[in-house]
Every structure is written in structure tokens, then in C-alpha cells.
Amino acid sequence: MTQHTTLITGVTHGMGRALALDLAPRGGTLLLHGRKAERLEAVAAEARAAGPGTTVRTYLADLSDLDQVHAMAARIRAAEPHLDGLVHNAVAGGGSRPLVRELSGQGHELRFAVNHLAPYALTRALLPLLTASAPARVVNVASMGQEAVDLDDVMMERDYEGLRAYCRSKLAMIMATFELGAELAATGVTVNALHPAHLMDTPAVRAYGLTPVTTTEEGVRPTVRLLLDPELATVTGRYFDQFTDARAHDQAYDRGVRERLMKLTHDLIGTA
């Protein structure tokens, strides 16, 4: 993968960091994203040590603010000549205070904003670079934790709970994967989603009070496969449960719901 340039979001902890350290020895260029400069530079230093021949550059943005998402995309477009892989790994999990409904910079429900709006907005903003670099791959790190999105209460103003908000945002991400996969079919840019592994030992899992049952390496392997396996070069618009092409929540197969969700998504992120 010597010539590959890959952007990973949310590398400062958990599976994102493990993925960065897995890819680092493989060469090419790694673009590492985080929201806290000191922590991001510490992980970048680890990646450089793990792969001395790999170029590592860092990008800062708080994904709960769409202005920062768009600004980061503009910096990437200006600085990077190629982008072959984009892994949307960053996440707002169930949270340590799951009954407290939090909002993004734009006043959207935080989990919907960080886990669905931000990655979709970033992908869209980087599409010129991705299509110019094709073949290229977008990997949406979703989850088997999925719950139907209530299109009449997308921001969960009623009956809020953090893990349910997370599950809805992850299904929204999967629905966006299906739509974008179809839209980009002729471009050479593939878009797939996956559940990486069950209850890995990460801050998101522990913050919600869950007990980890597996390691981040379990999630890294199927994620790297979606990113690099030549056998998946033309596979797009799919949801994988680790290594298995799987069925997502029923709502993801309702075309009318997907269309309503994507119209709302475009309205919220400010694209036509």
C-alpha cells in the first residue's frame, strides 16, 4: 500500500488509535484526525515510530461543529494531492450521563451530529479528492447496535437516552452508506459500513458502564479488510458484520425512509 493515502477520524483513543498503529508500518501516507491537539500529536508520534517510512500528518476538528468539519475538509483538499481511503471511526458513544441530551454546535442532537451528519458532510466535502484519486474507498464504522430513526423526532426531543441515540445515529450512517454507494457506483469510489467487533475495550464502552469482552484488534481486522482487500475492490453500498456481508436493521431497506433521511441530512449540512 506504499502509495496509499488514508484518513482516519478519531484516532486519539480506542479502535481509531489501534487502526492507525496497524496501518502505520504499511507505508504510504496516514492522515490522522482528532479533536485534542496534544493527544493527537502523541498518537501521531506513536504512528511515526511504528512506521518510520510512512508519512503522517494530523488534522484537528471537533466533529460536533459542522463549521469545523467543513474547515478541515477545505484544509485537506488544499494540502493533499490524493485520498484513497477514508475511515469514519470517530464516535460519540452512549455517554457517561446517558439521560442528558447534548447538542452539537449547530443545535442538533449530539450523537446524530457526530456519528451521522459529520461523517456524511466530510465525505461529501472530500468527494472531489476521492473521485480524482479513484479507485478509492470510504469505510463507515457503524455498529450492530441499531434502532429505527424516528423521522418525526430525529433530534430525539422525546424519550432521550444516550445509547438509543447512538443506535439511531449508526443506522442513519448505514442508510447513508446505501444511498452514497448507489450514487457513486460509476465513480470508482466505494462506500461500505461495518460492525467492527462486539464490546471492545475502549473508552466509549467503559464510559457507558459496559464491560468489554474483546480487544480493539478484533475490530481493526475487518476494518482493514474493507479498506484494502483486493477482493472487495468493487463491492459497495453494503453493511458487514465483521467479515460477513450482513443484513442491517429493517428500516435501512425502506427506500422512502432513506430518501427522507437524506433530504433532511442535506438540509442540515447545507448542501443541495
Of positions 139, 205, 248, 262, contacts ligand NAP by CB under 6 A? 205
Q: Does residue number 221 form part of the binding site for ligand NAP (CB under 6 A)?
A: no
In the range 181-200, which residues lie near ligand NAP by CB under 6 A? 195-197, 199-200
Residue nearer to ligand NAP on the CB measure, 90 or 224: 90
Residue nearer to ligand NAP on the CB measure, 16 or 28: 16
Of positions 6, 64, 123, 190, contacts ligand NAP by CB under 6 A? 64
Residue nearer to ligand NAP on the CB measure, 39 or 260: 39
Which range of residues in 59-67, 149-157, 224-232, 258-266 is near ligand NAP by CB under 6 A?
59-67
Q: Does residue number 123 form part of the binding site for ligand NAP (CB under 6 A)?
A: no
- Distance from C-alpha of 231 to C-alpha of 236, rounded to nearest angstrom: 12
Contact present, 86 and 138 (Cβ < 8 Å):
yes
In terms of DSSP bridges, do strands 244-245 and 239-241 run parallel, antiparallel, or are they unpaired? antiparallel
Best CA proximity match to 225, nearest among 215, 213, 235: 235
Contact residues for ligand NAP, defined by CB under 6 A: 10-16, 34-36, 39, 62-64, 89-93, 114, 141, 143, 195-197, 199-200, 202-205
